[in-house]
Structure 1
Amino acid sequence: MLASPLWGERIERLREVIWREGSDSASLDNAMELLVRSGRDVVHSSMMMIPQAWEKYADLDPAVKAFYEYHQCILEPWDGPAALAFTDGVLAGAAVDRNGLRPCRYKVRRDGLVVAGSEVGLVDLDPREVIECGKVGPGEVLVVDTAKGEVVRNLDAKRQVATRRPYARWVARYMATLVPDPARSAPAPEGEELLRAQRAFGYGFEDLRLVLEPMASGAGDPVWSMGDDTPIPPLASSAPSVYAYFRQRFAQVTNPPIDPLRESMVMSLRMHLGRRGSPLLERASYARMLRLEHPVLLEDEAAALHNVPGFSTVTLDAVWDVSRGVDGLRPALTALRRAAERAARRGARIIVVSDRSADERRAPIPMLLAIGAVRQHLVHTGLRARVGLVAEAGDAFDIHHFATLIGYGAEAIHPWLALAGVQEIFSAGQRGSGAAGRKGEGEPRPGPEEARQRYRSAAEKGLLKILSKMGISTLSSYCGAQIFEVLGLGHEVISTCFAGTASPIGGVGFEELAEDVLARHQGARLIGEDGPTSLPDHGRVRFRKEGEDHGWAPPIVVALQQAVKADAREAYDGFLVKQAARRPAGPRDLLDLRRGAEVPLEEVEPVEAIQRRFVSSAMSLGALSPEAHATLSIAMNRMGARSNSGEGGEDPHSYRSLENGDRADNRIKQVASARFGVTTEYLVRAEELEIKIVQGAKPGEGGQLPAHKVTELIARLRHAVSGIQLISPPPHHDIYSIEDLAQLIHDLKTVNPRARVGVKLVSEAGVGTVAAGVAKAYADYVLIAGHNGGTGASPLSSIKHAGSPWELGLAETQAILVRNGLRHRIEVRTDGGLKTGRDVVLAALLGAESYGFGTAPLVAMGCAMARQCHSNTCPTGIATQRADLRAKFKGTPEQVIAYFGLVAQDVRRLLSGMGFRSIQEIVGRNDLLERVERPDVPRAQMLDLSMLLAPTDEQGRRRRPNGPLHRTEHRNDRPGVTSLDEEILAELQPYLDSGLPFSGNYPIHNHHLAVGTRVSGAIAERVGDAGLAPGSVRLRFAGTAGQSFGAFGCRGVHLELEGEANDYVGKGLSGAEITIRPFRRAAYAEVSHQHLVLGNTVLYGATAGKLFAAGQAGDRFAVRNSGAVAVIEGAGNHCCEYMTGGIVAVLGRAGRNFGAGMSNGVAYVLDETGNFEGRINGDMVESAELDDEDVELLRRLVHEHEERTASPRARTILVQWADYLPLFRRVAPRGAAELVAATRMGYLEGPRQESEPALARRSA
């Protein structure tokens, strides 16, 4: 809604402000330019577009907070990782997103020159002339006023902008809040009326018992396991809801997901309903909005919408006359769109789209269609900003439903029928049965009112999780953003209701959707004395004989296990018959292989050659029992295939051969976001290193290993403590962009030059573009995982509604790699539900060269598909850590080998029939695929499979694809000059051979990456994580270190840096010691504690070692630290996040959210201002005064810090010990006194290395 007297009639030319083909950065630039050219200064514009996380900051200046709330009424935040540089010719500045996901370091020189960028060392500055080294933190700005010759810091810059107008007075006068109105609440349906409504709106037994009841009892998203093995919606046997056609999008590589639990300080569900003003103007009346703290409305809150002073609310009925049949839906949507337009033009501020009037004669329009159609129409008519949209939806009851409604424009949702269902379930005397993820039987069951509150809480937690998957922090940014893809809706439905959403395979139209609605409506009419008296059990989650088809139904499980037991083709053919008799479940089931001139079977490559292409999918030791994990790896090693360790580390004992010659280690070792078990030795023992960006069953989410699964063994391997839950962050905190991924690939190839490095992605629209970026980042392989792979534990909404079939992502990846001339550089791999030779051949034809199997080998070992992995009660001992259940494990390597042998024989027969002698000949040959007609599944014929069948050349002609269709280069290594580490290693090698100590001095620059990493890898190859004696290798550097300085440093290596460092210092530190102090002649050397000397994400995943830095660190210091000891002189936000061990001392100010997710270890923080308590994340940690042992430990740490770095700050604290000591606070996990004592004892009683005297160091 653009209006401005400055533009006058020319405003009509600005309807297309943003260039549609531009990048995200270009779009932001377009919008900011419009704001600046319309009269705002560039700082004001940047604050509008990229606001800080103001909603939960109690100490924020009230004027600044009012500025942000006012502007949210006219412009939703541009959310996501960003570090901006901006100027209008007079003001120049920098700004960082609310999460601080992009680094921005700056320096100020004496003469007023300000240099800012993503790293230090970009411009060579004399340190004697630099008077300030700092960073622009999360949500902050830094401004240079060239007219006044001033540098304006964050708070001053924001106050200058925020006090120009009386925003606080405007907000107080005009903004309304929703006051519940119980008197106007409509009565909830009960008994038979409720049952009839639930039937009409598509509820089933599982929806009540596996969704509503767990949400309302446990206030959380239900948890399930083993993935989704049911058909996609257009191929389902039971009519799915419209919501089921939508798949949640998620961030992978190009931007990170966010942790909505541990970083809740940046998350917001606040919404504003009403008429939005022009972003080009400022008017007091623009604050006339209805503030909603909860997007999910209870009954009395929904009723109150009609009674807000100054707000005209109109309700539109989303129903149609059943007598019109399937042809009635389309005109009903047209009428609804016109009614919404009339209401907006007549002055309505809020439109409630409601299906509550559905009855025997009127069927409900699926609410997602209704909201989508209304929103699209209002956008096209230029009226969308005039009204707020509310969905009063009977068919919305789970988290995914709410997310799709908000994603397509609803600003609030009233799930009236779901709330009625919750009330019925939790009324006195009602008890549920077998709900997923329910609280323990011993806990009191909530009453109806509390159950409704818990249900809303679960819904809103789930919303936060879904939007955070995309790296979005605010619901207002997610609203209307349409961040979904569709599986199975046709062009007319998409263009009418969801324009702009990817629907790669087309699908059903309005008639088919109306047919489903009318079938449910008819079922509801039959309820009564002679009809059904309960809801149908569709079996979409659990297998039910009369329910939805499951890929791992009991008959198929039994058939496969019989085939493995017999190890015979006849038995395997019986399994294939059962598999072929299934209903098609995905696009690949509608494809067939084109037969050619058959070649003799004996001419086809042998089983052994095919098996070498097989991979067992990543499953951690922790998710699997030790027995199952070892059985799988032994079997894969015997075949010459590859097993994947998963993200739980690996027992070093497995690096040695067993007595019978078997190897139980994994050739592929995974590097995931938590870095569990990632040590230098772990990395150098790998043949392949796989960076797990996302997981097919829960992409965009982190994970938790429940406390009952963290045994002594698991804890030892993960460098944690037994009996305490382990948390995996949703993102890799060293991968916020494709450039960051390239850095991690470089780091891994540096520590282990022999290993091939791969990246695991999950199939979704656009994954091909990401895969191209992975190839350019010099990965050796990319894995495209499907949505229907297994999982040990995942939210049910993620299992059912995130990701897409592997064949779609694989086809897109192949096409884009070929088109961009990258295919020859990188291997393509796929997994997610593969089980037969046909799956392997199809994957090969679509471009895959290697093939991952997860669930199938587990079934071969005895998995009964009980789907109890998440509860630690696996009856076959495969997915449990309970000793009594592990004793029931009967699997053997021979069973796994037999299975893969049968699959390989199956592949050979198919190749023979197609006329080929090897898999290599068919990779990428999708011209050998043809469509299968399935008249028994009418809607299958409506799917468009052209993206799978079309060749991958630019012309799109139906002929054999041109160009390299598979990898031709063994490795995809970065070309370049010899690294600094290789030069050092050449000098060091004779000393390693002789056992003599080595020391060296080297200049260093910011293009020297991962310095010290190759040296540590070479040492670990010789002696493992035991490393060398302290001080064996001492390397001194002077200058500016590039990214990943000291990454994966091992014992015996001591790195000393005079100067400064960038991000990721000490990443994966495995025993090395790092010392950093500022340039000796720097102007700020005596007050280095006030300046930044190292960047973000330091000691990420460190397991041992020490770091001392005479200066401040950036954000996320010691994130996932598992054992390192560190002393620094200040830290940004999120310090000690997810920490499971080690000691950190901060001799200065620490930022917000300290200790989030910290389950072990101890920290000491100097609190000179007395407000540190408010910056702690109190969910898991608490602060306390120091006791005698703390005092002794801290004194030793400060003394060692001063000794190593010659820190003026440490010297002052030691001299004035009595004054400073009372200002320190200890931070540790709640109720963890024994853990804290053990951590302190480990340092106080451990061996202490003598460092060079500080005096000698200063005089050198």
Structure 2
Amino acid sequence: MQSREATIKSLYGVVVKMKLGPYGNPKASDSANLDSAAELLLRSGRSPAEALMLLVPEAYKNHPTLLIKYPEIVDFYDYYKGQMEAWDGPALLLFSDGKTVGACLDRNGLRPARYWRTIDNVVYVASEVGVLPMDESKVVMKGRLGPGMMITVDLESGQVYENTEVKKIVASSNPYKKWAFGYSSEDVQMVIETMAAQGKEPTFCMGDDIPLAVLSQKPHMLYDYFKQRFAQVTNPAIDPLREDIQKGIHGSIDKAIQSSCVKLQAIYAVRNGSQLLVLSDRSEELEPTRPAIPILLAVGAVHQHLIQNGLRMSASIVADTAQCFSTHQFACLIGYGASKIWSSKDSFLRWVLRDLLEFRSDRPSIPVGKVESASSIVQRFCTGGMSLGAISRETHEAIAIAMNRLGKKVSAYIARLRNSKPGVPLISPPPHHDIYSIEDLAQLIFDLHQVNPKAKVSVKLVAEAGLISGHDGGTGASPVSSIKHAGGPWELGLTETQQTLIEKELRERVIRRVDGGFKGGVEILMGAAMGDNEYGFGYDAMIATGCVSGYA
């Protein structure tokens, strides 16, 4: 919304001569900023349903029936896709302007939402049926909201409009198809042909034990200093390959505009009519006496400078670079302001955090006879449960026998359990799709204790037994971008949780375990010095069962 503040010229159809804003608050939550954006659209004369269709659009590109049965709705989304960025959830949104009240889900549909209408013309919306006591015989209409769906009620007439009804009313109010074809910038093209043809990102197993970029003595790209962040409990992962209705690879940059304006200063170029800023690190474009800077730094600087001068929406930023070759790097560039990316491949190296730590003690060594017995010490060690094997008896007999066998790992047995086909690459199962909040997680822990009150319930968040997993630990199967750029060092997680638990006087209530790339006694001593109780091994266990580890 910061980018759009300088481009809004009117409200209620009246030209505004003074500058309005801000329309959002960077310090506020996502929900608060979404509320501000929705209020702005309402005050500009749009209905609540239209405002929410603009802000939280349905996944319409790959929809099996929308294009055939309701082309006008597709035209509406096509027209606005280049004018308003989509807000993703997960969220169940309730809205009203005093005349209309409604509810809608985001395109991913990760929040439960059910509705029912009674004979006395009362409409209820809740996460589950049974939230409110009522006579079932009085229910005349009921259903649930799917991904991107909406329901509204006209408070004046009492009319209830379900998803396609309300969207048809909004989409039919203007000839969006004609308007969309009137803009040359609406020519849709594939951004990356090879990714569209392959349809997937490489999938690997094991972990990533290469160095942290911030500590490396070797050259590094700026992308390596960024880590992916997500809410592990409340945001279950979306599979872009097998849940492709949520995803698309279409852009709206006119392919006819290919001239470069890298010789001009960004502000001067935009004020003189340039609509495309190309930031390039090609050798022929660089000044011989000036060193190149990271393209991510350049994109972020130009993006912010255009915002500060109220010109960001007047031009698109294209990154022409050889510094971008992975999905993580594409995400960084787009997140910092790039509209389009031309890229090529490169390579990089990193370092590890624990190499900066060493043991220092002024206490003398104790006699071996006073050291805890080996049989007692090994009770603190545990092997890693990987992917499907985490819940099978066979794991305890032979850990991940087929983990590194040649060929596809998805056998007929695994394919049947995952509702897939043998030989098709699958990532390890994501977090529970029936857990959407910390309260849901607490309920799951409570339910498990009802079955076995003595059980130690362990999650990768602190419960009775807490597990701290480092980013260099392994998994059964994962996209390479997640292996490389998701998570952080266990050393940081361990020290931060230790300090927090001590500060809150909760440390004695938790049995804490650490794992992630443990290969020997040094890691155990490090973890013990940082206050840990137990230590998990997956890598060594796999080597012990015959797996071969290779490093290039």
Between the aligned partners of 2:447 and 2:36, the Cα distance in structure 1 is 37
1:835 aligns with 2:519: yes
List per-residue Cα deviations over 1:68-100 (Å, max 9, x = no partner): 222223221111211111111121111111122
User: What 5-or-longer segments of structure 2 have no aligned partner?
Assistant: none
Residue type at the aligned position of 1:55: K
1:112 deviation in Å?
0.6
Question: 1:595 pairs with 350, 361, 369, which one?
Answer: 361
Q: How far 1:117 moved relative to its partner?
A: 0.8
Q: How many residues align?
A: 533
- Distance, in Å, in 2 between the alignment partners of 1:788 and 1:721 is 28
2:319 counterpart SS class: strand
1:41 equivalent in alignment to 2:47: yes
**1:360 to 1:46, Cα distance in 2 relative to 1, 3 A:** closer
Deviations along 1:781-838, whole A, 9 cap, x unmatched? 2322111123455444433333221222333333444455554543332211223333
CA contact (8 A) 1:96 1:140 kept: yes
Deviation readout 1:741-795 (Å, 9 max, x if unpaired): 33433443344443222113xxxxxxxxxx4xxx4xxx32232211112345544
Q: Please say if residues 707 and 725 of structure 1, whose CA atoms lie closer than 8 Å, have aligned partners that are also in contact.
A: no
Q: 1:361 aligns with which of 274, 288, 294?
A: 288
Paired with 2:541 and 2:163, the residues of 1 have a C-alpha distance of: 56
Change (3 A) 1:72 1:709: closer
Aligned residues of 1:4 and 1:11 also touching (Cα < 8 A) = no
Residue 346 (str. 1) matches residue 259 (str. 2): no
The whole-number CA distance in structure 2 between the counterparts of 1:270 and 1:216 is 10
**8 Å Cα contact 1:178-1:305 kept in structure 2:** no
Q: Structure 1 residues 847, 92: closer, same or farther in 2, change over 3 A? A: farther
Distance verdict in 2 for CA 1:340–1:812, change over 3 Å: farther
Q: Secondary structure of the residue that 1:31 maps to in structure 2?
A: helix
Label 1:739 to 1:8 Cα distance change in 2 as closer, same or farther (>3 A): farther
Matches within 5 A, 1:816-827: 816-819=500-503, 822-827=506-511
Q: Secondary structure at 1:70's aligned position in 2?
A: helix
Q: Matched residues in 1 for 2:415 and 2:178: separation? A: 58
Q: What is the rounded CA distance, in whole Å, between the counterparts of 2:86 and 2:539 in structure 1?
A: 42
TM superposition score normalised by structure 2:
0.84
Q: Deviation of residue 726 (structure 1)?
A: 7.5
The aligned residue for residue 757 of structure 1 is 457
SS in 2 for 1:35: helix
Q: Amino acid of the residue matched to residue 361 of structure 1?
A: P
In structure 2, do the counterparts of structure 1 residues 34 and 603 end up closer, same or farther at CA, with 3 Å as the change threshold?
Answer: farther
Aligned partners of 1:747, 1:706: CA distance in 2, in Å?
Answer: 41
Question: Residue 1199 of structure 1 aligns with which residue?
Answer: none
138 and 358 in structure 1: CA distance in 2 versus 1, 3 angstrom threshold: same
Query: Which residue of 107, 112, 130 maps to 1:98?
Result: 107
1:707–1:723 CA contact under 8 A, matched in 2: no
Where do residues 535-574 of structure 1 align in structure 2 (5 Å cutoff)? none
Task: Give SS of 2:141's match.
Answer: strand
Alignment check: 8 A CA contact 1:829 1:851 kept: yes
Do the aligned partners of residues 216 and 724 (structure 1) sit closer, same or farther apart at CA in structure 2, a change above 3 Å counting?
closer
Which residue matches 1:260?
240
Which stretch has the larger CA shift, 163-172 or 746-755? 746-755
Distance 2:475 2:418 in 1: 23
- C-alpha change, 1:588 and 1:96, in structure 2 (3 Å) is same
- Equivalent position SS for 2:519: coil
Q: Distance in 1 between matches of 2:505 and 2:44?
A: 44
Equivalent residues of 1:314, 1:343 under 8 A apart: no
2:130 aligned with 1:121: yes
Q: Equivalent residue of 1:53, what SS?
A: coil
Secondary structure at the aligned position of 1:247 is classed as coil
Q: What secondary structure is seen at the aligned counterpart in 2 of 1:341?
A: helix
Structure 1: gaps spanning 5 or more residues: 181-213, 274-289, 291-300, 307-312, 318-335, 422-537, 541-547, 550-584, 622-644, 655-662, 671-702, 761-770, 869-1260
Query: CA 1:240/1:48 → structure 2, altered by over 3 Å: closer, same or farther?
Result: same
Distance 1:176 1:385, change over 3 A: closer
* TM-aligned CA deviation for residue 359 of structure 1: 6.6
CA contact 1:54–1:60 (8 Å) conserved in 2: no
For residue 224 of structure 2, what is the amino acid of its counterpart?
Answer: A
Equivalent residues of 1:706, 1:724 under 8 A apart: no
Rounded Cα–Cα distance in structure 2 between residues aligned with 1:30 and 1:619: 44
Report the CA distance between 1:47 and its aligned residue: 1.3
Superposed, 1:682-693 pairs within 5 Å as none
Residue aligning to 2:378: 611
Q: Helix, strand or coil: the match of 2:444?
A: helix
Answer yes or no: is the 8 Å Cα contact 1:788–1:832 preserved in 2.
yes
Judged with a 3 Å threshold, the aligned counterparts in structure 2 of structure 1 residues 265 and 220 are, in CA distance, closer, same or farther, namely closer
Q: Tell me how far apart the structure 2 counterparts of residues 170 and 857 of structure 1 sit (CA, whole Å).
A: 62
2:313 is aligned, of 381, 385, 389, to 385
Give TM-score, length-normalised by structure 1: 0.39
Going from structure 1 to structure 2, the CA distance change for 1:720 and 1:354 (only over 3 Å counts) comes to closer
Counterparts of 2:262 and 2:33, CA distance in 1: 35
Q: Which residue of 2 aligns with 1:805?
A: 489
Please state how far the C-alpha of 1:230 moved relative to its aligned partner: 2.2
In 2, are the aligned partners of 1:226 and 1:867 still within 8 Å (CA)? no
Matching residue within 322, 327, 344 for 1:399: 327
Q: Secondary structure at the match of 1:85?
A: strand
**Residues 836 and 175 of structure 1, relative CA distance in 2, 3 Å threshold:** same
Seq. identity, %: 42
In the alignment, structure 1 residue 27 sits paired with structure 2 residue 33? yes
Matched, 1:783 2:467: yes
After superposition, what is the alpha-carbon deviation per residue over 1:135-161, rounded to whole angstroms, capped at 9, x for unaligned?
A: 122211111111112111212211222
1:269 to 242, 249, 252: 249
Which amino acid in 2 is paired with 1:14?
Answer: G
- Aligned mates of 1:611, 1:10 — CA distance in 2: 74
Equivalent residue, structure 2, for 1:894 = none
Distance 2:163 2:195 in 1: 42
User: Within the alignment, does 1:414 sit opposite 2:414 as a pair?
Assistant: no
Local SS of the residue matching 2:512: strand
Would the aligned equivalents of 2:113 and 2:126 in 1 still touch at CA under 8 Å?
Answer: yes
What's 1:82 paired with?
Answer: 91
d(CA) in 2 for partners of 1:59, 1:822 = 58
The alpha-carbon distance between structure 1 residues 37 and 804, as it changes in their structure 2 partners (threshold 3 A), is same
Q: What is the alpha-carbon distance in structure 2 between the residues aligned to residue 217 and residue 171 of structure 1? A: 27
Q: Deviations over 1:1093-1148 (max 9, x none)?
A: xxxxxxxxxxxxxxxxxxxxxxxxxxxxxxxxxxxxxxxxxxxxxxxxxxxxxxxx
Instruction: Give the equivalent residue in structure 2 for 1:66.
Output: 75
Partner residue of 2:433?
Answer: 733
**Secondary structure of residue in 2 paired with 1:176:** helix
Q: Greater relative contact order (Cα 8 A, min sep 6): structure 1 or 2?
A: 2
In the alignment, is the contact (CA less than 8 A) between 1:143 and 1:152 conserved in 2? yes
Change (3 A) 1:305 1:811: farther
- 1:1041-1068 per-residue CA deviation (whole Å, 9 max, x = no partner) reads xxxxxxxxxxxxxxxxxxxxxxxxxxxx
Q: CA contact under 8 A between 2:188 and 2:252: conserved in structure 1?
A: no
- Structure 1 residues 256 and 130: alpha-carbon distance in aligned structure 2, compared to 1, 3 A threshold: same
**Match for 2:487: what amino acid?**
G
Alpha-carbon distance in 1 for matches of 2:305, 2:96: 37
Please tell me whether residue 315 in structure 1 is matched to residue 261 in structure 2. yes
Q: 2:204 and 2:80 mapped to 1: Cα distance? A: 41
Equivalent position of 1:934 in the other structure:
none
SS at match of 1:59: helix
The answer on 1:745 being equivalent to 2:448 is: no
CA distance in 2, matches of 1:354, 1:50: 33
Return the alpha-carbon distance in structure 1 between the equivalents of residues 176 and 106 of structure 2.
Answer: 23
Structure 1 residue 244 and structure 2 residue 224: aligned? Answer: yes
Q: Is residue 55 from structure 1 mapped to residue 7 from structure 2 by the alignment?
A: no
| Aligned residue identity for 1:738 | I
